[in-house]
């Protein structure tokens, strides 16, 4: 009777797991970067124009959130299409 290898992870699945981890980690840093850049940019415009209400900060936050959710949605749809094919 040969020993079972069911408890050992397959090299291909481990590589795929690390690839997914790297991809989604990079995606998280990209989301953080977009959010911070647009928020701080909007804050800078508000201070530069001496606005009493933070219109551009809120606009930066709103645009960054829309961008983040759209990118996430597109990424999920792309993964679903790749898995179905």
3-state secondary structure 4-52: CCCCCCCHHHHHHHHHHHHHHHHHHHHHHHHHHHHHHHHHHHHHHCCCC
pLDDT of residue 80: 82
* Residue 16 in domain: no
Question: Does residue 40 belong to any structural domain of this protein?
Answer: yes
10 lies in some domain:
no
pTM as predicted: 0.76
pLDDT tens digits for range 1-47: 555 555 555 667 888 888 888 888 999 999 999 999 999 999 999 99
Domain count, the chain: 1
Report which of residues 80 and 73 the model is more confident about.
73
Decide if 14 is inside a domain: no
Domain that holds residue 73: 26-79
């Amino acid at each position: 009777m040969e020993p079972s290898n069911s408890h050992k992870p397959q090299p291909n699945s481990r590589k795929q797991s690390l690839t997914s981890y790297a991809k989604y980690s990079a995606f998280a840093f990209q989301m953080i970067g977009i959010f911070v850049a647009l928020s701080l940019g909007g804050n800078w415009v508000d201070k530069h124009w001496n606005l009493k209400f933070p219109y551009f900060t809120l606009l930066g936050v709103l645009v960054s959130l829309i961008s983040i959710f759209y990118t996430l949605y597109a990424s999920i749809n792309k993964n679903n299409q790749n898995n179905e094919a």
